[in-house]
């Protein structure tokens, strides 16, 4: 682990190249099988609830029905996640004309209808944040993201550059600058 005060960083992160290739993966990270959706921080819950009216305008009838039946969140304080449909896709997914899974919150945000983009856990993916005695970020390499890893290698896009916006959102500009400085000098990062 690399320590970028006060956070431990998975040693794979400095070397990783990554750039989403939605034409290949079709937004697979939003539709993974498993039953739980995206982790939602407790502080994000009121922001999510305030953004829901704008986001629901883009949802399919199945998503709207699931929201009506069980609500937007699974779990309890300290362990929230978005609700899933049939233990698979996030309830806030809609599919564009190319059948790519997209986030209704992000669309509402990009269209200026809300000030909240989406759960920070989604924004950071494939980086995951864990809190033990100290925060740890790790790189989660799933098969569905193989096209993004290949595209990132081909275009030479460092993972930390690809995820600059969510890393700054989560940890701040100063921390990101320290991470970038550490990872650009790490062995194997070039």
pLDDT digits (tens, 9 = 90+) for 54-82: 999 999 999 999 999 999 999 999 899 99
- The reply to whether 141 and 176 lie within a common domain is yes
- The reply to whether 92 and 39 lie within a common domain is yes
- The reply to whether 13 and 59 lie within a common domain is no
Cα angle: 144, vertex 150, 155; to 5 degrees: 135
pTM score, whole prediction: 0.87
What is the count of structural domains for the chain? 2
- The reply to whether 40 and 101 lie within a common domain is yes
- The reply to whether 65 and 134 lie within a common domain is no
Specify if 159 maps to a domain. yes
- The reply to whether 82 and 103 lie within a common domain is yes
What spatial distance separates the first Cα and last Cα of the chain, rounded to whole Å? Answer: 19
Q: Is the pLDDT of residue 157 over 60?
A: yes
- The reply to whether 37 and 110 lie within a common domain is yes
Last residue within a domain, chosen from 85, 114, 143:
114
How would residue 189 be classed by pLDDT, with cut points 50, 70 and 90? low
CA distance to 7, 24, 44, 50, per residue, from 31 (Å): 29, 14, 21, 24
Stated as kind and residue range, the H or E segment containing 161 is helix 159-162
- The reply to whether 99 and 59 lie within a common domain is yes
How would residue 186 be classed by pLDDT, with cut points 50, 70 and 90? low
Q: In what order do the strands lie in the sheet with 2-4?
A: 2-4, 7-9, 135-139, 127-131
- Domain interval for residue 140: 1-18+126-185
Please choose, from the candidates 127, 115, 52, the residue with its C-alpha nearest in 3D space to the C-alpha of residue 82.
52
Residues 26, 96: Cα–Cα separation, whole Å: 10
- The reply to whether 54 and 96 lie within a common domain is yes
- The reply to whether 12 and 36 lie within a common domain is no
Specify if 190 maps to a domain. no
Q: Is the pLDDT of residue 182 over 90?
A: no
Specify if 121 maps to a domain. no
Please report the pLDDT score of residue 108 as a whole number. Answer: 97
Residues 86, 150: Cα–Cα separation, whole Å: 30
pLDDT in tens, 79-95: 999 999 988 899 999 99
- The reply to whether 47 and 101 lie within a common domain is yes
Phi and psi torsions of 186, nearest 5°: -70, 145
Highest mean pLDDT among 28-32, 35-39, 130-134, 171-175: 171-175
């Amino acid at each position: 682990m690399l320590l970028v005060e006060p956070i431990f960083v998975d040693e794979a992160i400095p070397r990783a190249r990554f750039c989403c290739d939605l034409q290949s993966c079709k937004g697979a990270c939003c539709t993974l099988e498993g039953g739980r959706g995206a982790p939602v921080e407790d502080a994000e819950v009121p922001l999510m609830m305030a953004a829901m009216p704008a986001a629901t305008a883009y949802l399919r009838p199945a998503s709207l029905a699931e929201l009506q039946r069980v609500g937007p969140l699974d779990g309890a304080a300290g362990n929230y996640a978005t609700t899933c449909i049939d233990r698979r896709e996030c309830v806030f997914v809609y599919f564009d004309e190319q059948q790519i899974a997209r986030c209704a919150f992000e669309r509402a945000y990009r269209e200026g209808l809300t000030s909240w983009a989406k759960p920070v856990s989604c924004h950071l993916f494939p980086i995951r944040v864990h809190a033990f005695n100290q925060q740890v970020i790790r790189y989660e390499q799933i098969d569905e993201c193989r096209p993004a890893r290949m595209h990132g290698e081909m275009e030479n896009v460092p993972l930390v550059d690809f995820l600059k916006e969510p890393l700054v959102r989560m940890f701040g500009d100063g921390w990101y600058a320290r991470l970038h400085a550490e990872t650009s000098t790490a062995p194997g990062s070039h």
